[in-house]
Structure 1
Amino acid sequence: MDLVGVLLFLPSIMLGVIMGANDAGNILGPTVGNGIFKIKQAIYAASIMIILGALIEGRPGLKVSSNLVKVNTTEIIIINLSVVVITLFFLKRNLPISLTQAIVGASVGVGILIKEINTEILLYIVLGWFSTPVVAFIISYALQKTLALVFRGIKNLRIRFYVLRILLWVFTLYGAFSLGANNAGKISGILYQRGYNIYSLLILSGLSLSAGILFFGKNSIYTIGRGIMALDDFTAMISIATVSITIWIYSIIGLPISAAHAIIGSIIGAGYSKGTRIHNPKIFQRIIFSWLEAPMYSGIFSAFVYSIYKLLW
């Protein structure tokens, strides 16, 4: 690979690692953060499923993300580096932001200056941002009400325990698979424009996401798992199931959404269905505001860096 290839791929790899670290809490927070699963077992299993999800189901999102803005090599590098810088800024504050919004914000920041934005796809993606937590809330609320009745019908407590544990693992693995499928396009969508092999890009996306979860995911896992609402085993299962279903639905249609939006909607929906309320409103408010700040900061930063580049070269 030549120097240009390195400059293109390295920011994308960094982005994938950071995204994995950021999104670890969105799929493992409800279980690991509440002491249901051991962190090492959950992280290793999720890492494998993320790679499979990116490789098997990542193609639709890759194609949608590649059509948001038409950019050249330099602009790709500026966009990816901007997302990396902004995400690191939020991670230092222990806030799992929406990387989808950060990526779109950085792309739009450059796209406005070069006048190469596909507004139809942008509106399509923004619609996903607003609908994701609402859809997750509804699914979670309904699942909590419905499955609670089913589990009450299992009188043997030992059988109920094992059924619940099996479902927790099934939905955790399913959630990791869906996350890999939905995030692949965010990491490599812009590179797809340059004509690189699609399967190489999907593998790159899955491996970088897994590396982020394996080595840097612990903080976001405990922030999501413990900081918003206390969850028992059953409610954690409902939250993970909701995130998995929500992300999978959007992945099928190729719409890159935020797992952070889905997990917040699912946790609150499950909690509200049984009368539990947010026990730490300040952390919840910080997370919500970070969703608004991420696209704005990344857009401003990428536009600033691109403007400096144009002035110097």
Structure 2
Amino acid sequence: MNQLQEIAAQLLKHNYLILTGHAIPDGDCIGSMLGLHCALQNLGKKVEMILEDPVPAIYHYLPHWEDIRPPVISERHGFAAVYLDCSDQCRVSEEVRQVLQNAAVTINIDHHRDNSRFGDYYYVNPEAAATAEIIYELLHIMQIPIGQDVANCLYAGIIMDTGRFMNSNTTSLTMKVASELLQKGASVDLARNNLFESKPLAEVLLLKHALGHLTLSEDGKIAAMWLTLEEVKQAGAMDYHPEGIINYARMIAGVEVGLLFREVGIDQVKVGFRSRGRVDVASLAREFGGGGHRLAAGASFTGSLESVIALVLDRVKDVC
């Protein structure tokens, strides 16, 4: 029995499960949680979903998104805790960890190469384009029929983590899974209209500010943008609104690494890294206590926006 089969057995064994994912959840995190939630509920199981951050509005078209709740600390026993798309337990809040600390079993399903392999049972496949792709395989092992609701959720996870199948993590298996999800009822129109053609005003305002700060290194290989705390507040933005802005830095011809610096508090800065392919930005992010994928990563810093920009740019120049 391999690791994913062991996890399938545990999910079938437990009738009470709590699902969670990483902070500032993206499409793969949300889609994987909702897809697994729908499938397990169809088996008659009690399933809770908890996240410390709100579900971004673009995912509100997915079934049962409103069932994802903030963590409420209370006595719970006999449940299985399932971490999805979460490379380490430190990527969830202390409140989430407190809720899950009494779990009968802890399960970790992920595709991040730097996953810490935590939990009683874990399955980490860095070759998978998205955790949602793994969930699709898991449901087949469990012999759970995939209906339209599950298909739409998993399709959203895959399409977001592959950048509409344009990122290099897209494989022939990814395309096969996506095709099968379409056969099972996933809607391309629904995904396109909600995920790519319905931008919140706050996100557009942030993009305006970020592009206004756009700078290029002398050799044109590094593009950097930043957002001040005041700009984020003026836009009325949530934590997830800047998610796609960094791609505008990477898409400039000749750029190898795109960076987005974002003030999130006094002397608190989050940095997103994106690579065109030659530079492993996950390794760079790990040097600063962060992590992610080879082409997309992030890290948090303590210091002024100006000092963090200088620090990171100096290091990135060493590898570009």
Tell me the TM-score normalised to structure 2 length.
0.26
Considering Cα pairs closer than 8 Å and 6+ residues apart, tell me whether 1 or 2 has the greater RCO: 1
Query: Counting helix residues as a fraction of each chain, which structure ranks higher?
Result: 1
